[in-house]
Amino acid sequence: MPIQRRDFFRSAACASVALGILPDLMTGPALAAASDSGLDAGVLPPGAISRFAQLNGIRLHYVVAGSGPPLVLLHGWPQTWAAWRGTMAALSDRFTLIAPDLRGLGLSERTVSGYDKRTIAEDIRALIDHEAGGRARVLGHDMGGKAAYVLAHRHPDRVSRLALVDCLLPGTENMDSLRGGAWHYGFHMAPDIPEMLTAGRERAYIREQIRAWSRRKDAVTEDAINEYARHYASPGGMRAGFNHYRALRDDAALAATFAGKRLTMPVLAIAGRYGVGSRLSDALKGEASSLTTVIVEESGHFVAEEAPDAFQRAVAQFMTA
């Protein structure tokens, strides 16, 4: 549905407050100058390898670690593959972990279009074919969770087990801030305005959003925020991130075509009590043939960082069952 003018200006006002309450610790140019476009060796988990492959028409970056059955990890906004460093270190003795940068983010190619979750799912299908022999366990958080959900519906033969982490299924998001919805949807979906207002303040904006969505405010470290921000602050980074939001209308239309269809693989819904709570599992009850639900107490949106022990235990138990 079109963004109403009052909703847009309300969202823009909220964004201005968010941008103004924190000091601009590091600007876009400063972040870009801090490192080149490559991957710092210190970012990789022990034993991990950084790789690139030409898949589904784009140059996709991903990191591989561990040994065992393949498990694909899909990050959300405003993060990169590096959101999974702790998870990869903890689970690398049981799985071959494959963590891509989603299209346009991190070191993956920034394209003009293709941020709808149907296209993102095709990127991941190609990655599974290329790196995992055509079938894998798949886990996705936030935007990565939406893509994982679409992938499981469109290519169930590629997904042996599906875990969705603190995300809302496409079309179930509450974007009406007057009725308790999140203001950032309208702001991120508006053309050009969010890029203009966050230019030079990328780190401040990303930090504020992460802190606002976390129950444990210090769980996502300042170093992690620096790592995300250096990529989003590089040319085209914020636009690519916002484009994942701008595709939500198309994502909702696609998800509507799944009505009446079942997810036949085992599904795990894991969420923070102070994140999406039970809304994820409630939305899945009508279509998941085998559904496991885990609500992590005292966690917000970033469950893997806010409650790493509980998260890793739940994922390991589900993925090895």
Q: Which of 7, 123, 142, 251 is catalytic?
A: 142
Q: Looking at the predicted structure, is the pLDDT value of residue 27 above 50?
A: no
- pLDDT at residue 41, as a whole number: 57
pLDDT over 90 at 18, yes or no? no
The dihedral over CA atoms of 28, 185, 112, 44, expressed in degrees to the nearest 10, equals 50
Q: Are 151 and 124 in contact (CB under 8 A)?
A: yes
- List pLDDT tens digits, range 140-167: 999 999 999 999 999 999 999 999 999 9
Residue 38 scores a pLDDT above 50: yes
Question: What integer is the mean pLDDT of 293-302?
Answer: 98
What average pLDDT does range 283-310 have in this prediction? Answer: 97
**pLDDT at position 39:** 63
Q: What's the whole-model pTM score?
A: 0.89
CATH number, domain with residue 63 = 3.40.50.1820
Q: Please give the residue range of the domain that contains residue 177.
A: 5-320
245 has catalytic annotation: yes
**Catalytic option among 75, 153, 244, 301:** 301
Q: What is the mean pLDDT of the chain?
A: 90
Q: Which of 166, 245, 251, 274 is catalytic?
A: 245
d(CA 12, CA 85): 33
Q: What is the mean pLDDT of residues 211-220?
A: 97
Selection from 92, 16, 79 nearest residue 48 by Cα = 92
- The total of structural domains in the chain comes to 1
Of all residues in the chain, the percent with pLDDT exceeding 70 is: 87
301 part of the active site = yes
